[in-house]
Amino acid sequence: MVAIGAALGVGVSAQRAAFSTVIESVRVDVLVTDNGRPLLGLQPADFDVTDNGVPQQADLVSFEQIPLNVVLALDMSASVAGDRLGQLQDACGAVLDGLTKDDQAALVTFSNFVSLAAPLSGRLADTRRALDDVYGFGETSLVDGVYAAMEAGEADAGRALLIVFSDGLDTSSFLTADGVLESARRSDAVAYSAAIGEGANSSFLRELSTLTGGTLYKVDSTRDLRATFVRILEEFRHRYLISYTPRGVATSGWHRLDVKIKNRRASIKARPGYLAGLIAP
C-alpha cells in the first residue's frame, strides 16, 4: 500500500475528503500576457469575471509578492540516476534560489511509495538537505505523488505552486487518476509539469495542468530542466490573484469560470472552473 497517509497525516483516498457546501470565496490565479509578455498594472475594474455565466465582482486583484508555497514533486523511480538526477537536483536548487524570505517550500518524492521528504516550511535549508539525499529506485506512483503535493502545498496560507517532474507513466499508484483530478478541481493550487520520455505523454499531467491553470512542458532532456523550472517560477510570480464571493450561483457542482480583460486584447491563462460541494464517500 502506498504510504501517502503516513507521509502527510491525511487519508489515502482523495474521494473521502469532506468540503463545506458553503462557498465563502473563490481564488483564481490568472496569467495575463500581451504578445507573450506579462501585462502589468491591471486593477480590479479591468477584469471581467463570470461564474457559470453570472458576472461577479472581483474583490481583490494582486500583483504583489504574495508569499508562495512551492512544492517540488519529483519522480524518483529507478530511471532517475546519474547525470539525470544531478540535473534535476540542480533545477530544483535554482527554484529554491529564486524564493524570497517570505516564501515556503516542500519536497515530495514518489517511486514505489510517496514520501514527504521536507514538509512545507520557510526553512529552505531543510529542503535543500532533503534534496541532496534523494535517489532513484523502483516504480512510478505519479498520481499518488501529485495528490500528496497538493495536500502539502495547501497546508498553510499562501499561493500554492506545484512543480511536478516525471520521466515515465504511472505504474504503481494506489489512488485513481479521476479521484485526484477531482481533488484538483477543488484545489487553489496551480500545477506546472516538466516531463521527459514517456512522462511527456501522460494524459493525467496534461489534464492536471488544464484543470489548475498551469502548463505541461515537454522537455527534451534533463539538461533543459533548470531553465524550465526557473521559467515556471518567474511566470507564476507574474500571475494576478483574483478573489471574489460567488453571488447568484449554486453552492454545489461544477462551476465554469471565465476571466477576460475589458477593452484590451490579451491572452489569459487560468483554471476553467472549480468544483463545490461534498464528495460522496
Within this chain, do residues 113 and 221 fall inside the same structural domain, yes or no?
yes
Alpha-carbon span 203 to 191, nearest angstrom: 14
- Any bridge partners for residue 195, and if so which? 166, 218
> Using an 8 Å Cβ cutoff, are 115 and 3 in contact?
yes
pLDDT band at 116 (very low <50, low <70, confident <90, very high): very high
Give the pLDDT confidence of 162-182 residue by residue, as tens digits. 999 999 999 999 999 999 999
Q: What is the residue range of 125's domain?
A: 65-237
178 & 251 share domain: no
Inform me whether the pLDDT recorded for 68 exceeds 80.
yes
Query: Is the pLDDT confidence value at 16 over 60?
Result: no
As for how many domains the chain has, the answer is 2
Q: What CA–CA distance (Å, rounded) separates 63 from 241?
A: 7
CA pair distance 75, 252, nearest whole angstrom: 35
pLDDT at residue number 95: 98
pLDDT at 15: 39
Q: Is the pLDDT of residue 151 over 80?
A: yes
Distance in angstroms (rounded) separating the CA atoms of residues 178 and 161: 21
Does residue 57 sit in the same domain as residue 130? no
pLDDT at 281: 32
CA atoms within 13 A on the CB side of 237: 12
Question: Is the separation of the CB atoms in 181 and 208 below 8 Å?
Answer: yes
The count of C-alpha atoms lying within 13 angstroms of the C-alpha of 96, restricted to the half-sphere facing its C-beta, is: 24
